[in-house]
Structure 1
Amino acid sequence: MQTKTIQPIHVLCFETQTSFKEIFQYVRVEARNLYQDAVHNDLEITGPVYWVYQGADGQPDTVFTLTIALPVTPPAHATDSRYRLKQLEAFECISEDLYGNWDGLVNTYGSLFGEIMSRKLVMTGQNREIYLNMDFENPERNITEVQIGILK
């Protein structure tokens, strides 16, 4: 677990309003489409997929903003992408890596929230999950970095 500053990141992204009850319709769909769109538009992919949650509180019915983002080099040419190009702003966070099945995310978040409470940090309402390695056939090989935004 560590506290760090993430520098701004230029991304190709999909954004929507959703809830945890409805979120599974985007799993294995939008990230794959982002990769295909980036290749189609000759964009240089510069990092793994980010899922950015703004206003999520863990409750199944709470509506929040979900951004699924693929880091890319800002293009010098016009694109015909159906996705938006934007910059994720600098981000102060406390983070922890999860090695293995995403069923462990609840424990990773619990550990981070416990640390935030014990250190009396203030959360920003934005969380990020960076999917460093995704293995749908062998989920024990997944590597996911969980970042919870905090005020500096």
Structure 2
Amino acid sequence: MQTKTIQPIHVLYFETRTSFQEIFQYVRVEARKLYQDAVRNDLEITGPVYWVYQGADGRPDTVFTLTIALPVTPPSHTIDSPYQLKQLEAFECITEQLYGNWDGLINTYGSLFSEIMSQKLVMSGQSREIYLNMDFENPDRNITEVQIGILK
């Protein structure tokens, strides 16, 4: 567990309002479409997919903004895409990596929240999950970085 600053990242992204009850309709759907669209538009993919949660509180029915973002080099040409381009701003966070099944995310968030409380940090209202490795056949091989935004 560590505190760090994530520098701005240019992304191709999908954004919606959803809740944890409804979020599964986007799993393995929008990220795949983002990759396909990036390749079709000859965009250079520069990192793993990010899921950015703004205003999520962990409750199943709370509606929040979900951004699924794929880092890309800013294009020098116009793209033909249902998705948009933007820059994720610099992000102060406390972070921990989860090695294994996503069922462990609840424990990872729990340990991060405990650390936030013990250090008396103030949360920004945004959290991110970076999917460094996704193995749907062998979920114990997943590597996910969880980042919870903090105010400095």
In structure 2, what is the Cα distance between the partners aligned to 1:21 and 1:67? 16
Q: Give 1:147's aligned residue.
A: 147
| Consecutive unaligned residues in structure 2, runs of 5 or more | none
Shift of 1:134: 0.0
User: Which amino acid letter does the alignment assign opposite residue 145 of structure 2?
Assistant: E
The equivalent of 2:130 in structure 1 is 130
Deviation at 1:144, TM superposition (A): 0.0
Moved over 4 A (4+): none
Question: What letter matches 2:48 in structure 1?
Answer: P
Deviations along 1:116-145, one digit per CA (max 9) or x if unpaired, are 000000000000000000000000000000
- Which string of whole-angstrom CA distances, capped at 9 and with x for unpartnered residues, describes residues 15-67 of structure 1? 00000000000000000000000000000000000000000000000000000
Distance in 1 separating the partners of 2:55 and 2:151: 15
Partners of 2:22 and 2:138 lie apart in 1 by 24
Structure 1 CA distance, aligned partners of 2:151 and 2:138? 36
Matches within 5 A, 1:34-53: 34-53=34-53
Structure 2 match to 1:115: 115
Q: What's the counterpart of residue 31 of structure 1?
A: 31
> What is the CA-CA distance between 1:90 and the residue it aligns to?
0.2
Q: Who is 1:15 aligned against?
A: 15
After superposition, residues 52-63 of structure 1 pair within 5 angstroms as: 52-63=52-63
2:52 counterpart letter in structure 1 = V
**CA RMSD, aligned part only?**
0.2
Q: Secondary structure at the match of 1:5?
A: strand
Mapped to 2, the partners of 1:106 and 1:29 lie a distance apart of 22
Cα deviation 1:50-91 (Å, max 9, x = unaligned): 000000000000000000000000000010011010000000
The alignment-based identity, stated in percent, is: 88
After TM superposition, list the pairs within 5 Å mapping 1:71-86 onto structure 2.
71-86=71-86
Gaps of 5+ in 1: none
**Residues of 1 paired with 2:17 and 2:77: CA distance?**
30
TM-score by length of 2: 1.00
- TM-score of the superposition, structure 1-length normalised? 1.00
